[in-house]
Amino acid sequence: MTGLNHVLDRIPNFTLNIGNHKGNLFENIEDYQGILPEIPDRAKVLMDTGHLLSAGVDVRAFAEAFADRIGHVHLRDQKGETPVPFGEGDLPFVDVIDILKGAGYEGELVIELEKVTWGEPVQACAAARKYVEKILF
Protein backbone atom coordinates (compact mmCIF):
# COMPACT_ATOMS: atom_id res chain seq x y z
CA MET A 1 0.00 0.00 0.00
CA THR A 2 3.03 2.24 0.20
CA GLY A 3 2.88 2.82 -3.56
CA LEU A 4 -0.81 3.68 -3.50
CA ASN A 5 -0.35 6.08 -0.61
CA HIS A 6 2.60 7.66 -2.43
CA VAL A 7 0.47 8.29 -5.53
CA LEU A 8 -2.34 9.81 -3.47
CA ASP A 9 0.14 12.01 -1.60
CA ARG A 10 1.65 13.30 -4.85
CA ILE A 11 -1.70 14.12 -6.48
CA PRO A 12 -3.67 15.95 -3.77
CA ASN A 13 -6.84 16.70 -5.78
CA PHE A 14 -7.22 13.16 -7.07
CA THR A 15 -9.84 10.63 -5.96
CA LEU A 16 -9.16 6.99 -6.67
CA ASN A 17 -12.02 4.51 -6.99
CA ILE A 18 -10.92 0.91 -6.45
CA GLY A 19 -13.21 -1.43 -8.38
CA ASN A 20 -14.29 -4.93 -7.52
CA HIS A 21 -14.09 -7.68 -10.13
CA LYS A 22 -14.67 -11.40 -9.86
CA GLY A 23 -11.38 -13.25 -9.69
CA ASN A 24 -9.25 -10.17 -9.02
CA LEU A 25 -7.55 -8.73 -5.95
CA PHE A 26 -10.71 -6.89 -4.85
CA GLU A 27 -13.66 -9.20 -5.13
CA ASN A 28 -15.53 -9.24 -1.81
CA ILE A 29 -16.13 -7.52 1.52
CA GLU A 30 -13.09 -9.05 3.20
CA ASP A 31 -10.76 -7.84 0.45
CA TYR A 32 -11.81 -4.23 0.98
CA GLN A 33 -11.79 -4.54 4.76
CA GLY A 34 -8.14 -5.48 4.46
CA ILE A 35 -7.08 -2.43 2.46
CA LEU A 36 -9.36 0.51 3.27
CA PRO A 37 -8.00 1.12 6.78
CA GLU A 38 -4.50 1.41 5.27
CA ILE A 39 -5.26 4.11 2.69
CA PRO A 40 -6.61 7.69 2.82
CA ASP A 41 -10.36 8.26 2.85
CA ARG A 42 -10.20 9.86 -0.58
CA ALA A 43 -9.52 6.41 -1.99
CA LYS A 44 -13.04 5.14 -2.58
CA VAL A 45 -14.83 1.95 -3.54
CA LEU A 46 -16.18 1.50 -7.05
CA MET A 47 -19.10 -0.85 -6.39
CA ASP A 48 -19.86 -2.96 -9.47
CA THR A 49 -23.03 -4.90 -8.69
CA GLY A 50 -22.64 -7.28 -11.63
CA HIS A 51 -19.20 -8.41 -10.52
CA LEU A 52 -20.41 -8.73 -6.93
CA LEU A 53 -23.27 -10.97 -8.07
CA SER A 54 -20.91 -13.02 -10.26
CA ALA A 55 -18.63 -13.56 -7.26
CA GLY A 56 -21.54 -14.62 -5.05
CA VAL A 57 -21.23 -11.56 -2.81
CA ASP A 58 -24.29 -10.22 -0.96
CA VAL A 59 -24.65 -6.83 -2.66
CA ARG A 60 -26.77 -5.42 0.16
CA ALA A 61 -24.15 -6.37 2.76
CA PHE A 62 -21.38 -4.92 0.58
CA ALA A 63 -23.23 -1.60 0.21
CA GLU A 64 -23.86 -1.46 3.96
CA ALA A 65 -20.25 -2.27 4.80
CA PHE A 66 -18.79 0.50 2.63
CA ALA A 67 -21.62 3.02 2.28
CA ASP A 68 -19.41 5.87 3.50
CA ARG A 69 -16.55 4.96 1.12
CA ILE A 70 -18.45 4.25 -2.10
CA GLY A 71 -17.34 6.76 -4.72
CA HIS A 72 -18.83 5.28 -7.89
CA VAL A 73 -21.48 2.67 -8.73
CA HIS A 74 -22.02 0.39 -11.72
CA LEU A 75 -25.51 -1.13 -11.73
CA ARG A 76 -26.01 -4.42 -13.57
CA ASP A 77 -28.72 -6.95 -12.83
CA GLN A 78 -28.01 -10.65 -13.19
CA LYS A 79 -29.32 -14.14 -12.50
CA GLY A 80 -26.20 -15.88 -11.30
CA GLU A 81 -23.59 -14.77 -13.82
CA THR A 82 -26.05 -14.06 -16.64
CA PRO A 83 -27.02 -10.42 -17.29
CA VAL A 84 -30.79 -9.89 -17.41
CA PRO A 85 -33.13 -6.91 -17.81
CA PHE A 86 -33.16 -4.63 -14.76
CA GLY A 87 -35.60 -5.91 -12.17
CA GLU A 88 -35.52 -9.53 -13.34
CA GLY A 89 -32.36 -10.65 -11.57
CA ASP A 90 -30.87 -10.98 -8.12
CA LEU A 91 -29.87 -7.35 -7.54
CA PRO A 92 -31.84 -5.78 -4.65
CA PHE A 93 -32.09 -2.38 -6.37
CA VAL A 94 -34.36 -0.67 -3.83
CA ASP A 95 -32.27 -1.77 -0.86
CA VAL A 96 -28.97 -0.78 -2.46
CA ILE A 97 -30.24 2.64 -3.54
CA ASP A 98 -31.76 3.23 -0.09
CA ILE A 99 -28.40 2.39 1.53
CA LEU A 100 -26.60 4.79 -0.82
CA LYS A 101 -29.13 7.56 -0.21
CA GLY A 102 -28.90 7.02 3.55
CA ALA A 103 -25.12 7.43 3.36
CA GLY A 104 -25.46 10.67 1.41
CA TYR A 105 -24.09 9.24 -1.83
CA GLU A 106 -24.17 11.90 -4.54
CA GLY A 107 -22.08 10.17 -7.20
CA GLU A 108 -22.95 8.59 -10.48
CA LEU A 109 -25.11 5.50 -10.97
CA VAL A 110 -23.82 3.94 -14.17
CA ILE A 111 -26.24 1.66 -15.99
CA GLU A 112 -24.07 -1.20 -17.16
CA LEU A 113 -25.50 -3.58 -19.71
CA GLU A 114 -23.24 -6.38 -20.77
CA LYS A 115 -24.16 -8.97 -23.37
CA VAL A 116 -27.71 -7.80 -24.07
CA THR A 117 -29.42 -10.94 -25.36
CA TRP A 118 -33.01 -10.02 -24.54
CA GLY A 119 -33.49 -7.21 -27.05
CA GLU A 120 -32.01 -4.26 -28.85
CA PRO A 121 -29.26 -2.61 -26.72
CA VAL A 122 -30.50 1.00 -26.95
CA GLN A 123 -34.02 -0.04 -25.94
CA ALA A 124 -32.62 -2.21 -23.14
CA CYS A 125 -30.64 0.78 -21.84
CA ALA A 126 -33.70 3.04 -21.97
CA ALA A 127 -35.74 0.45 -20.06
CA ALA A 128 -32.97 0.10 -17.46
CA ARG A 129 -32.83 3.87 -16.99
CA LYS A 130 -36.60 4.04 -16.57
CA TYR A 131 -36.45 1.24 -13.99
CA VAL A 132 -33.77 3.02 -11.95
CA GLU A 133 -35.53 6.40 -12.20
CA LYS A 134 -38.73 4.88 -10.74
CA ILE A 135 -36.73 3.83 -7.69
CA LEU A 136 -34.89 7.15 -7.38
CA PHE A 137 -37.87 9.42 -7.82
Phi first, then psi, for residue 73 (nearest 5°) are -135, 130
Q: What is the pLDDT of residues 40-84, one digit of tens each?
A: 898 999 999 999 999 999 999 999 999 999 999 999 999 999 999
DSSP lists the bridge partners of residue 82 as: 79
pTM above 0.85, yes or no: yes
- Count Cβ neighbours within 10 Å for each residue of 115-128 and write b for 16 or more, e otherwise: ebeeeeeeebeebb
Give the CA distances from residue 100 to residues 45, 65, 71, 122, in Å, rounded to whole numbers and listed in that order: 12, 11, 10, 27
| Domains, the chain, ordered by start | 2-136 (3.20.20.150)
pLDDT (tens digit, 9 = 90+) per residue, 80-128?
A: 999 999 999 999 999 999 999 999 999 999 999 988 989 999 999 999 9
